[in-house]
Structure 1
Amino acid sequence: MVPLTQLWLPIILSAVIVFVASSLIHMVLKWHNSDYRALSNEEEIRAAIRKGSPTPGQYVLPHCVDMKERNTPEVRKKYEEGPVAFLVVSPNGEPNMGKGLALWFLYAAAVAFMAAYVAGHTLGAGAHYLKVFRIVGTVSFLTYVGGSVQMGIWMGKPWGSVLKDVLDGLIYGLLSAGVFGWLWPKI
């Protein structure tokens, strides 16, 4: 067993490296830009949503409270007519990129912390690079991709976008695994 106090450097460094890799993926390679499409009648949709004054939150169309209501002819007709949509409404104003980036870094650090926790309880000091790589890479990969796969299953996120997220998670997992393997405490 390796105490977490001996793993602070790989935790922080892997979070930094994942943060930088993510920035390169989103700002230089921009392979996620095509994941978001515009509605042909965006202004009408914006006006309709604004007219309803929804508070920030998560919404679903058509809305029904339970399966009993979902099986009524009225709700079934709404599903057939469409659209069927999941909508997230954020507060008005420009998105706060600073807050988003800070939260993303904290998430990357939390992923690294959990990978360190699992590896630290699974492996001892002096463990071979590839053993550390496998444990940390697996935990990190699964953590980075799990949410996107769930969005594909339950929220209809396009599978092409999910696959890009899985590739991102694979990159982040491999980078984290490499950092931990390199900086794993020696005997």
Structure 2
Amino acid sequence: MVSFSQLWLPIVLSAVFVFVASSLIHMVFKWHASDYRALSNEDEVRAAIRKASPEPGQYVLPHCPGMKDMEKPEVQQKYQDGPVGFLVLAPNGVPAIGKCLGQWFLYALAVAFMAAYLASRTLPPHTHYLQVFRVVGTVSFLTYAGGSVSLGIWMGKPWSSVLKDLLDGLIYGLLSAGAFGWLWPR
């Protein structure tokens, strides 16, 4: 069994690699820029939401408190009339990008930590690079990419955006796998 003290470097390096790759994806290549559209009447929509003064949180339109309510003709008509959607509202103010980047890095560390945990319990020292790569890459890919598929299924996230998220997850998984395979205890 491999000790966690032997894996601190691949854990940190994996998180750094993912953080850098993510920064390049979002700030240089910007392949997610087309995932977000503007409403033609954004100011009117913002005014209506502001007038309602909802708390930050997750909302659904139309709201249906339970499955029995779905049978009511007036609820079915709301769905037919539209819009049907999901809305996430953050607190007012300029987004704290530094805080978000810090949380993203901590998440990358957590993913690397969990991949290290699984690999350290299933792979002995001196394991071949490719076997370490497979285990860590699979765990990392599933962790980074899996949630997006659920959003496509249940929240209507466009499948083109989901596919880009899967590609991101694959890149992050490969980078994590490479770091662990390279630095696996010999």
When normalised by structure 2's length, the TM-score is 0.99
Unaligned runs of 5+ in 2: none
Distance 2:129 2:56 in 1: 46
Over residues 31-51 of structure 1, what are the superposed CA-to-partner deviations in whole Å (9 max), with x where a residue is unaligned? 000000000110110000000
Unaligned runs of 5+ in 1: none
Over residues 115-159 of structure 1, what are the superposed CA-to-partner deviations in whole Å (9 max), with x where a residue is unaligned? 001110110001000000000000000000011111101100000
Distance 1:59 1:70 in 2: 17
Distance 1:96 1:58 in 2: 19
Residue 169 of structure 1 corresponds to 169
Q: Which is worse superposed, 53-62 or 65-74?
A: 65-74
Distance 2:152 2:79 in 1: 19
Alignment of 1:19-168 (within 5 A): 19-168=19-168
DSSP 3-state at the match of 2:59: strand
Distance 1:159 1:94 in 2: 29
Counterpart of 1:110 in structure 2: which amino acid?
Answer: A
Over residues 5-63 of structure 1, what are the superposed CA-to-partner deviations in whole Å (9 max), with x where a residue is unaligned? 21111000000010000000000000000000000110110000000000000000000
Among the aligned pairs, what percent are the same residue? 75
Q: In angstroms, what is the RMSD of aligned CA positions?
A: 0.5
DSSP 3-state at the match of 1:58: strand
Distance 1:142 1:152 in 2: 15
Residue 13 of structure 1 corresponds to 13
Distance 1:103 1:179 in 2: 21
* Deviation of the 1:70 alpha carbon: 1.5
Aligned residues between the structures: 186
Residue 4 of structure 1 corresponds to 4
DSSP 3-state at the match of 1:51: helix
Counterpart of 1:98 in structure 2: which amino acid?
Answer: G
